[in-house]
Amino acid sequence: MVRTHYEALLEAALQGARLEKHDLITLLSAETPEELSMLFAAAYRMKLRYVGGVVRLRGLIEISNICVKNCHYCGIRRGNTALARYTMTREEILDAARLALEFDYGSVVLQAGERCDREWADWIAGIIREIKELSGGRLGITLSLGEETRETYRKWFEAGAHRYLLRIESSNPELYAKMHPADHHFARREQCLADLGEIGYQVGTGVMTGLPRQDATDLAEDILFFRRHDVDMIGMGPYIPHPATPMGRECGDFDPARALLGARKMIAVTRLALRDVNIASTTALQALAPDGREQGLLSGANVIMPNMSPAANRPAYALYTGKPGLDENAEETRAALEKAIAMIGEKIGYGEWGDAPHSVPKRR
Ligand code: SAH
Ligand code: SF4
pLDDT in tens, 301-360: 999 999 888 888 888 888 878 778 777 788 888 888 899 999 999 999 988 888 888 876
Task: Judge contact between 325 and 293, C-beta under 8 A.
Answer: no
77 lines ligand 1 (CB under 6 A): no
Distance CA 112, CA 125 (A): 14
Distance CA 206, CA 167 (A): 4
pTM for this entry: 0.95
Give residue 156's pLDDT. 98
95-116: average pLDDT: 95
Distance 308 CA to ligand 2 centre (A): 20
Nearest CA to ligand 1 atom 25: 239
Select from 319, 321, 323 the residue to mutate for testing ligand 1; criterion: most ligand atoms less than 8 Å from CB: 319
The amino acid occupying position 87 is T
pLDDT-derived band at 364 (thresholds 50, 70, 90) equals very low
Distance 326 CA to ligand 1 centre (A): 17
The four Cα atoms 138, 114, 93, 85 give a dihedral, to 10 degrees, of -160
Distance CA 85, CA 211 (A): 27
Distance CA 82, CA 145 (A): 22
Give residue 318's pLDDT. 83
Residue 276 has pLDDT above 80, yes or no: yes
77 lines ligand 2 (CB under 6 A): yes
pLDDT in tens, 156-194: 999 999 999 999 999 999 999 999 999 999 999 999 999
Tell me 84's DSSP state.
P
Residue 229 has pLDDT above 70, yes or no: yes
Select from 120, 153, 208, 260 the residue to mutate for testing ligand 1; criterion: most ligand atoms less than 8 Å from CB: 208
Give the C-alpha distances (Å, rounded to integers) separating 265 from 205, 237, 278, 300. 17, 11, 16, 9
Task: Judge contact between 254 and 241, C-beta under 8 A.
Answer: yes
Cα three-residue angle 46-47-52, rounded to 5 degrees:
125
Distance CA 199, CA 143 (A): 14
